[in-house]
Amino acid sequence: MRSPIGVFDSGYGGLSVLRDIVERLPQYDYLYLGDNARAPYGTRSFERVYEFTLQAVEYLFAQGCPLVILACNTASAKALRSIQQRDLPRIAPDRRVLGVIRPTAEAVGALSRTGHVGIFATPGTIASESYDIEIKKLNPGFEVYGQACPMWVPIVENLEMETPGAKYFVDREVGRLLEKSGKIDTIILGCTHYPLLYDQIRASVPQGISLVEQGRIVADSLADYLRRHPEMETRLSRGGSIDYLTTEAPDKFGALGSIFMRRPVEARRIQL
């Protein structure tokens, strides 16, 4: 029986993480779920994001996933802790759900020299202050500056990355972030959709400032987790397959998903 690693995002963004995970750990089976019908999550309330994320996790558990990665910063910020602490002991004490914020915060200490770190993320992730809290817990003395980018996810979901409109909104948020401190030397792309806007963001951010994408960081962290948890690792099936589920039109998911994954993607529609 298949026991894939479940990977969840509100839409397409998590595919940017899945791609790096599959490259790092190609031997396992994967089941991706994008809740495209209800995306974006970034402007939704805490309660809604929690409710939707829990539904997705329960769905992936029912498909046989012993382990689910929330490849979505918004869901990691607003739902992960409640699911880990309140729901898992009740619904599935032997399964695990991991997020993307903690591994990213762990990596950033080694990347910044000035200790002044910027975050681009959805309004929900910024409002949660999750990055602020996690980075400062691990690196006392660091300063963290958040900039919400409400238009960036819709730009990506509508494939408008190459347009003058995209350039306008990228330049605007970059300007707003850099106004907050002249000492920022590292900026985290704290939304899994943003790697698709990497070239535009890179062109707007001064060269001396590093841009951090999460995919490889999350992939390395997952590899490390599986090394430290053989009881979980041995439960995962090793067929090298990737299946895709979406709550919206599967054709559109396939077309856009292929861009994120850089390989053909065929999706099946499900209802949560």
Which residues does the annotation mark as catalytic?
72, 191
Q: How far is the CB of 146 from ligand DGL (least distance, A)?
A: 13
Is 125 near ligand DGL (CB under 6 A)? yes
Any residues with CB less than 8 A from the CB of 30 and at least 6 apart, and which?
4, 5, 6, 7, 18, 21, 22, 241, 242, 243
CB 238 within 8 A of CB 3: no
Pairing of strands 5-9, 67-70: parallel
- Does 178 help bind ligand DGL (rule: CB under 6 A)? no
Interface size with ligand DGL, residues (CB under 6 A)? 17
Distance of alpha carbon 18 from alpha carbon 7, whole angstroms: 7
Among 74, 112, 186, 221, binds ligand DGL (CB under 6 A): 74
What burial class does residue 99 get, using C-beta atoms within 10 Å of its C-beta: 0-12 exposed, 13-18 middle, 19+ buried? buried
| 192 counts as binding ligand DGL under rule CB under 6 A | yes
Check residue 98 for interaction with ligand DGL (CB under 6 A): no
Least distance to ligand DGL, CB of residue 197, Å: 12
53 lies in the site for ligand DGL, by CB under 6 A = no
Per CB under 6 A, does 246 bind ligand DGL? Answer: no
Q: Which stretch binds ligand DGL (CB under 6 A): 190-198, 202-210, 230-238, 257-265?
A: 190-198
Q: Which residue, 11 or 257, is less far from ligand DGL as judged by CB?
A: 11
Stretch of residues binding ligand DGL (CB under 6 A), selected from 38-46, 89-97, 168-176, 244-252: 38-46
Strand partners, 267: 244
Q: What is the Cα–Cα distance from 119 to 198, expressed in whole angstroms? A: 14
Structure tokens at 140: 């006392």
- Output the CA torsion sign for 55, 60, 66, 70: negative
Q: What is the C-alpha to C-alpha distance for residues 17 and 8, in angstroms, rounded to an integer?
A: 10
Q: At what angle do helices 215-228 and 101-108 cross, to 10 degrees?
A: 100
Can residue 40 be called a binding residue for ligand DGL (CB under 6 A)?
yes
Q: Is residue 193 within the footprint of ligand DGL (CB under 6 A)?
A: yes
**Cα dihedral sign for 74, 78, 80, 81?**
positive
- Binding test (CB under 6 A) with ligand DGL, winner from 3, 36, 122, 221: 122
Nearer to ligand DGL, 6 or 42 (CB): 42
195, amino acid identity: P
73 contacts ligand DGL (rule: CB under 6 A): yes
Residues of the shown chain interacting with ligand DGL in the complex, contacts defined by CB under 6 A? 9-11, 13, 39-42, 72-74, 122, 125, 153, 191-193
